Structure 1
Amino acid sequence: MKFITRILSVLMLVALAACGGAPTQQRAVMVGQGLGPKFGDSQPHPWVGGHPYDHPVHGIDVSRYQGDIDWSRVRSSGVSFAFIKATEGGDHSDPNFRRYWYEAGQARIPRGAYHYFYFCRSGAQQAAWFIQNVPRERGALPPVLDLEWTASKTCPHRPPSHEVLREAKIFKDILHQYYGQRPIIYTTVDFYRDNNLGSWPEEFWLRSVAGHPRIVYPGQRYSFWQYTGTGIVPGIRGNVDLNVFAGDPVQWRQWLSRRLQ
C-alpha cells in the first residue's frame, strides 16, 4: 500500500508540472533564456512588449534593507553588477554602504554607488555629502543620481521642473568633475514625465516594472532597466531589486572597459 501511495504521489507531481502547477517563482525562472534557474521573482508580472529574462546581463541594487548579503553566492548566481545605496539628501548615509562596497569588491562584482536626491537641499550640498561618503576608486561604476518624487514627511516639497533640473545638473556636474565619470540618471515613469527628462542627453537607468521601457518610455535610450522589486537571488534574504543591462555580454564588456579605466 505504501508503494502504491508513493507511485500515485509521483504521478500527481508529474501531472501538476505538466499543467503548469509548479510554484510561481519557478515558472517565472523558466521563462528566462539567459537567466537560468538561479534567479526568481516572488511576484512575477505578465510582461508587455518584451521580457527582461531575454536579456543576458543581470544585476541588483541594494540598500540596508537587504541585511547580510553573501556576495560570493550572489556572484555565482550570475549577478554581473551591483548598485549600492550610499547617501540621501545632505545628511543621511546608508549604514550598510561601506560594508557592501567592500564585500562586493572582494567578490569581484562591478559596483557603483547611488544617491537618493532630496528636494529640500541644494544640489551642491548633496554632491558634497556624496563625495564625503563614497570613495573615488579606480574600477568603480559611474555614480548614480536617483531622481524620483519622494514621500518624505520632512520634505513634501515638489519643486517646479526648472528648479529640479537646475539642482540636479549642479549635483551631477560636481560628481562628474570629481569622479571623472558622468553620472547615470535613475528615474521613474512619473518623474521622467513630469520633469521632461527625455530632453537630457544623459545615460539612463529606467524603472519599469510592468512593461518594457520601449513602451513605457517611448524613444528613450537607456543602459539599465530595473524590472522588479521582488526578485529572488541566492545569497540575499527576501526580495531585492533586479535589473538588466541593455545589451549582450560583448557589449557589456565594452561598456565596462570604457568606465573601468
Structure 2
Amino acid sequence: MSEMQGAIDWEQVASDGIQFAFVRAGYRGTTEGGLFADGRLSENLAGAADAGLQTGVYFYSQATSAEEAQEEADFVLDQLGGRKLDLPITFDHEKDTTVNARGNNVDRDTLTAAALAFCQRIEQAGYRSMVYGNKVDIARMNLDSLGDRPVWFAEYNALQPSGQFDFALWQYSNTGSIAGISTPVDMNLRFTDML
C-alpha cells in the first residue's frame, strides 16, 4: 500500500479477510535519483497494525550501485525510526517505463551487489530483508549470491506461479478489490509462516 491508495480504512481491510500488508516506505526517482518518502507510511503502518494485520515495508529502488542501495536502506531505516515490523523490508528494483530511467541498464553483477547491500544494511539494523520482482526483474540478479533471503514473486493473470525458483510470496494480481480501499490493489499469497 502507498499514498496512491489514498486514505485506507484498515478495519474494513481486516474484516475483508486480509492478514498482512506491505507498505511503501518510499522510492528513488527514476531519472534524477532523488529519495522520496511515502506520504502515508506512518499512517498506513499504524492503521494496519491497529487493525491486527502483520506489516512489512518495501522500497522502490532505482539504485545504480551498492552505495546507492545502502543509501536507500538507510533512508528506509530513518523513516521507520525503530518501528517494529512483523514482516521483512523489501528491495523492489524494477525496470521502469519512464524514458531514460536510471535503473534500467544496471548490469547483473551491479544489481546483485545493490540488492545484497540493501539487504545487509537492513539486517544490520535488526530487521529481516526480502527481494521483490517478476521474472524479468529476478533474472536481472544472481539469486545464488543473495543467499537464503526470501523472494516475493510477481506474476499476474496466471492460474499458478511459473517462477522456477523458491519464493515466499506470490503477487498474483495488481487489480484486486478490498473493502476499505477505493483503488485497485496488489493481491498476494504467502506460502510460508517463516516470514
* TM-score using structure 1 length: 0.66
CA distance in 1, matches of 2:36, 2:108: 24
CA distance in 2, matches of 1:190, 1:237: 30
1:15-34 alignment, distance < 5 Å: none
How many residue pairs were aligned? Answer: 185
* TM-score using structure 2 length: 0.86
CA distance in 1, matches of 2:62, 2:106: 11
The structure with the greater share of residues assigned to strand is: 2
Q: Residue 222 of structure 1 is aligned with which of 146, 162, 167? A: 167
The structure with the greater share of residues assigned to helix is: 1
Is 1:68 matched up with 2:11?
A: no
Equivalent in the alignment of 1:28: none
Please report how far the alpha carbon of residue 144 of structure 1 lies from its aligned counterpart in structure 2 after TM superposition: 1.1
CA distance in 2, matches of 1:95, 1:101: 12
Structure 2, gaps ≥5 residues long: 29-33
Query: Secondary structure of the residue that 2:19 maps to in structure 1?
Result: strand
The percentage of aligned residue pairs carrying the same residue is 25
1:14-163 alignment, distance < 5 Å: 62-89=1-28, 91-120=35-64, 122-153=68-99, 155-157=101-103, 158-163=105-110
Identify the structure with bigger relative contact order (alpha carbons < 8 Å, sequence gap 6+). 1
Query: Secondary structure of the residue that 1:100 maps to in structure 2?
Result: helix
Q: Is the 8 A contact 1:205 1:226 kept in 2?
A: yes
Q: Is the 8 A contact 1:87 1:94 kept in 2?
A: yes
Is 1:236 matched up with 2:181?
A: yes
**Cα-to-partner distance string for 1:27-61 (whole Å, 9 max, x where unaligned):** xxxxxxxxxxxxxxxxxxxxxxxxxxxxxxxxxxx
CA distance in 2, matches of 1:167, 1:129: 15
Letter in structure 1 aligned against 2:116: K
